[in-house]
């Protein structure tokens, strides 16, 4: 009898899992839409909760299309609901494993982003600045707690960096390598051999306060306006570089569950 009950219980659990896996995405979204809106809005849903597609995803002020997802059950071992997402915006693309814990913390892993720098500036709503080049993000892990960055490990790169407005500047390639140690995010800033010379360090604490210290210069005098801009930032050191220091506090990120 116990064996029969065990088989019956297993059959019931398997059937419930089957129903959840194959539950239509549009019906599931209808059940939670009032909780997600207006932060998250999805249109043109296809597939299931496990593996699906949206023609358009509106994440706050950002309109993304299309969006694909696939549930990752392994996240349950870490106490999270993990989903692999892939999305596009214009010429940009992004993919990541997004996990949400019961407390609302957000964990990102295997982040791979490539977006034209001009599109990124538009998303950040910086109307007085025009840039070109491509921004790439290869991040092993990102942890968001209480809408703040608690962990960041990986590399951000701006390739073929160029400012078009308000003044045209050729910058070359720029890179920031981040790691997290004792709850403090540290990023090493450096150039990749272009016209702009940069080496520095950025630190970000859990409360959002940050500090940037960098030495900035140029490799030649072919861009007088760029040289004047850099020299206006501070006192020139031996070797021609200017020491730049800035601190502040990042506002909470508009991301929460």
The pLDDT of residue 238? 82
State how far the Cα of 198 lies from the Cα of 158, in Å rounded to an integer.
13
Q: Which of 67, 70, 25, 30 is nearest to 49 (CA)?
A: 25
Residue 17 phi/psi, 5° resolution?
-60, -40
State how far the Cα of 201 lies from the Cα of 230, in Å rounded to an integer.
18
Tokens 């080496």 belong to residue: 199
Coil/strand/helix, residue 129: coil
State how far the Cα of 129 lies from the Cα of 166, in Å rounded to an integer.
6
pTM: 0.86
The pLDDT of residue 1? 56
State how far the Cα of 142 lies from the Cα of 146, in Å rounded to an integer.
13
The per-residue pLDDT string of the chain (257 residues; one tens digit each, 9 = 90 and over) reads: 555 555 455 455 444 555 566 789 999 999 988 888 787 899 999 999 899 999 999 887 788 889 999 999 888 888 898 999 999 888 899 999 999 998 889 999 999 999 999 999 988 888 889 999 999 999 999 999 988 999 999 999 999 999 999 999 999 999 999 999 999 999 999 999 999 999 999 999 999 999 999 999 999 888 999 999 999 988 888 878 999 999 999 988 876 65
What count of Cα atoms within 13 Å lies in the side-chain half-sphere of residue 157? 15
State how far the Cα of 73 lies from the Cα of 94, in Å rounded to an integer.
21
The pLDDT of residue 63? 83
């Amino acid at each position: 009898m116990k064996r029969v009950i065990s088989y019956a219980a297993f059959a019931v659990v398997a059937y419930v899992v089957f129903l959840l896996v194959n539950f239509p995405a549009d019906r599931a979204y209808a059940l939670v839409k009032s909780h997600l809106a207006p932060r998250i809005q999805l249109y043109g849903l296809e597939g299931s909760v496990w593996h699906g597609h949206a023609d358009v995803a509106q994440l706050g002020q950002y309109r993304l299309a299309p969006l694909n997802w696939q549930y990752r059950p392994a996240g349950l071992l870490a106490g999270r609901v993990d989903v692999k997402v892939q999305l596009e915006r214009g010429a940009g693309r992004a993919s990541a494993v997004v996990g949400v814990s019961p407390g609302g913390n957000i964990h990102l892993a295997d982040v791979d982003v490539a977006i034209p720098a001009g599109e990124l500036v538009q998303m950040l709503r910086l109307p007085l600045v025009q840039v070109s080049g491509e921004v790439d993000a290869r991040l092993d892990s990102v942890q968001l707690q209480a809408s703040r960055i608690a962990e960041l490990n990986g590399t951000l790169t701006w390739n073929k960096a160029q400012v078009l407005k308000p003044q045209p500047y050729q910058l070359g390639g720029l890179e920031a390598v981040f790691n997290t140690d004792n709850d403090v995010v540290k990023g090493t800033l450096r150039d990749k051999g272009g016209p702009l010379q940069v080496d520095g360090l950025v630190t970000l604490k859990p409360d959002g306060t940050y500090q940037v210290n960098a030495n900035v210069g140029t490799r030649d005098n072919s861009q007088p306006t760029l040289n004047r801009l850099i020299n206006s930032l501070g006192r020139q050191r031996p070797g021609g570089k200017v020491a730049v220091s800035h601190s502040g506090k990042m506002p909470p990120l508009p991301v929460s569950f």
